[in-house]
Structure 1
Amino acid sequence: MAKRFGGRFSPGMQQDNLNPAPAAPIRHRLAGRPKYVTMAAVPFLFGAFFQDPAGMAASLAAFGVIASAMWMTGEGLAAEAAYEVRRVARRPAIPRKLFGSVLTGLGLGLGVAEPGSLAGAGVMGVTGLVLHWLAFGTDPMRDKGIAGTDSFQGERAQKMIDEAETHLAQMRDAIRRLGDRWLDARVDRFAATVEDLFDRVRSNPGDLSAARRYLGVYLTGARDASVKFADLYRQIPDPATRASYEAFLDDLEQDFNAKSRRLLEGDKSDLDIEISVLRERLAREGVRASEPAQLEAPTTETARFLDGLLTPDRDKAR
């Protein structure tokens, strides 16, 4: 089946398509190590066929356990890479690298175990566990950027974000099937804007109600539109349809950017109010700053309302 070529200098390519660069996939710097450990365990697999039935079962089990440990470790490295990239993140719910280290020690113990020498197998298992820890490190054990948030609201926000990430992944997959790297880069740029909103909600779960429509309705519509566009564009690569889809992404990206800015401005207004209240309390206690910084007046309606509530206390202090 013939495939339409769309390159950098092809007719109908808009300049906007040339600006975004394809986003590099999130990959841990140690992501290649598990496969080498699995390859090192291959002698257990081949050597099993030259032993008695009990030895064969032990060697096959050793290889299977070590291979499973490396798969678990690879998943842990991927989770750690995603954790490191995000400004706001929760620790992985399952310590995959810890389980991988335990399975590695168990696999090595099974591989060298002999009748009457369980102590030696135990020593080898502990050695494998320690070597795994030295080679791959530990799992992230604490949340990042969400200290002091309500756990119940945080769980609700994370559940909503997980569903939104599923919609975003489906949107990416639909466009990726077209094999157009410029469209892939454009969708990745939009995804980066959406993930910035995810970080805002993670850091302040109280913003979930304000961002619910964006995480739910808007992303669901973007996914459905992307799937329909991909199906249509695969059959009829019409430049007008492509331009319409790109304009749709531009509008969505602007909306998400604007929402993120409004949430950030709301956080700044809340901070200004908290600082004002703290200074009023210090003034009532007789503590005076040498050169008090001048705070800018609240700009949002909520900030002005709260500032008005504080005005009687300010008059009494004076």
Structure 2
Amino acid sequence: MARSFLDSLLGNNLADPPARPALPPTPRHPHEGRPKWITFAATPFLLGAFFQGATGMVTDLAAFGLVASGMWMTREGLVAQAAFEARRVAKRPAIPRKLFGGILGAVGIGIGAAEPGALAEAGLIGAAGLALHQLSFGLDPWRDKSRDGVDSFQQDRAQRMIEEAEGHLDQMRDAIARTGDRRLQARVGMFEATVRHLFDRVRDNPAGLGSARRYLGVYLMGARDATIRFADLYAATGDVAARQAYEGFLDDLEKDFIARSDRLLDGDRDALDIEMSVLRERLAREGLTGAATRVTPDDRPALQSHEAQTLDDLLKMPFPGQKTPRD
């Protein structure tokens, strides 16, 4: 019965998965690995905490925890910045993670360096740490990125739709994690990357949201519901046939999402061709196309004389109508 349900839902297509086109690589910030080294440098606070009194132990543990938390938030800020810079249209991060990470790290360093009667020096050390953090990792993006000629209302509507679709993907990921099968989790991750590629196309072209609305709404909700039911069934029975049907379903749905992304990209190409053709027509009406004045190699007059074999011979030849010394 479960198999018949999945067959009817998934279209009973168990063919070999098609070759998947290469998706854009995940954007990565060049400094994304640096925060872990700062956390590693703060380990003396952690190791030395257990060889002190109660006050020193709590102080050093708090210092290490604040530094580690700040570096984790800094790394999240670098990831968000890389994704922001990779998109042509993007909202600035809602939380300035790098700034908050620098503040947490600076407070941690200041607490770790604090001594009785030396609070001013500890504050200076923390301020220096914050300044070095900002110099090393930079500031968070503070302005939204948008395309010229695109209505902000369309961008906001597309972003809200994408956020709802992100929730469907999160539920799919949580459901498939219950199976405990890493291969299935990786397969859902590949499908998630394909869907995010469509997200990027919609962000770049919010006017195409109307054609992609079904994919971000109805189809993705159907994929979520099918994933939840499959995860419950497979976790209880381990049905191999149901697994094959589910993987075939993901293959078919992935092809549809890729095709929709390509159509949105083709729409951008069509718009570019229209703009170029309109500009060519306008230049042609004004006589500025350059076609009439451009001289091609076939239009150049050929040399009629075979006497000019070198550049010097060519320069010595008289121009048409010019008299020679013999004349």
- What TM-score does the superposition give when structure 1 sets the normalisation length? 0.71
CA distance in 2, matches of 1:61, 1:34: 16
SS of 1:184's equivalent in the other structure is helix
The corresponding residue for 1:187 is 188
Count of aligned residue pairs for this structure pair: 274
Q: Deviations over 1:251-279 (max 9, x none)?
A: 21121122112212222212111122222
SS of 1:209's equivalent in the other structure is helix
Q: Deviations over 1:3-31 (max 9, x none)?
A: xxxxxxxxxx98649999xxx99874336
Which residue type is aligned with residue 75 of structure 1?
E
CA distance in 1, matches of 2:27, 2:181: 20
- Percent identity of paired positions between Structure 1 and Structure 2: 58
Contact (CA 8 Å) 1:31, 1:77: kept in 2 or not? no
Do the aligned partners of residues 78 and 264 (structure 1) sit closer, same or farther apart at CA in structure 2, a change above 3 Å counting?
closer
**1:225 Cα shift?**
0.3
What root-mean-square deviation, in Å, do the aligned CA atoms of Structure 1 and Structure 2 show?
A: 3.7
**1:37 Cα shift?**
4.8
Determine whether 1:32 maps to 2:33: no
Which has more radius of gyration?
2
Do the aligned partners of residues 31 and 187 (structure 1) sit closer, same or farther apart at CA in structure 2, a change above 3 Å counting?
farther
Q: Deviations over 1:159-203 (max 9, x none)?
A: 211111121122123223323333233222222221111111010
The corresponding residue for 1:132 is 133
Q: Deviations over 1:209-250 (max 9, x none)?
A: 221111011111101100100111122222221222122212
Structure with higher RCO (Cα < 8 A, 6+ apart):
2
CA distance in 2, matches of 1:93, 1:122: 28
Which residue type is aligned with residue 217 of structure 1?
V
Contact (CA 8 Å) 2:88, 2:147: kept in 1 or not? no
Is the deviation greater in 241-250 or in 115-124?
115-124
Do the aligned partners of residues 117 and 179 (structure 1) sit closer, same or farther apart at CA in structure 2, a change above 3 Å counting?
closer
Segments of 5+ residues of structure 1 without an aligned counterpart are 1-12, 293-318
Determine whether 1:251 maps to 2:252: yes
Which residue type is aligned with residue 154 of structure 1?
Q
The corresponding residue for 2:222 is 221
Q: How does 1:33-72 map to 2 (within 5 A)?
A: 33=37, 35-42=39-46, 46=50, 49=53, 51=55, 62-63=63-64, 65-72=66-73
Contact (CA 8 Å) 1:174, 1:227: kept in 2 or not? yes
CA distance in 1, matches of 2:26, 2:283: 50
Contact (CA 8 Å) 2:39, 2:67: kept in 1 or not? no
The corresponding residue for 1:310 is none
Segments of 5+ residues of structure 2 without an aligned counterpart are 1-13, 294-327
The corresponding residue for 1:147 is 147
CA distance in 1, matches of 2:44, 2:75: 16
CA distance in 2, matches of 1:291, 1:107: 73
The corresponding residue for 1:232 is 233
The corresponding residue for 2:289 is 288
The corresponding residue for 1:304 is none
The corresponding residue for 1:273 is 274
SS of 1:288's equivalent in the other structure is coil
CA distance in 1, matches of 2:119, 2:267: 63
Do the aligned partners of residues 46 and 138 (structure 1) sit closer, same or farther apart at CA in structure 2, a change above 3 Å counting?
farther
**1:60 Cα shift?**
6.6
The corresponding residue for 1:3 is none
Do the aligned partners of residues 60 and 241 (structure 1) sit closer, same or farther apart at CA in structure 2, a change above 3 Å counting?
closer
Contact (CA 8 Å) 1:37, 1:70: kept in 2 or not? no
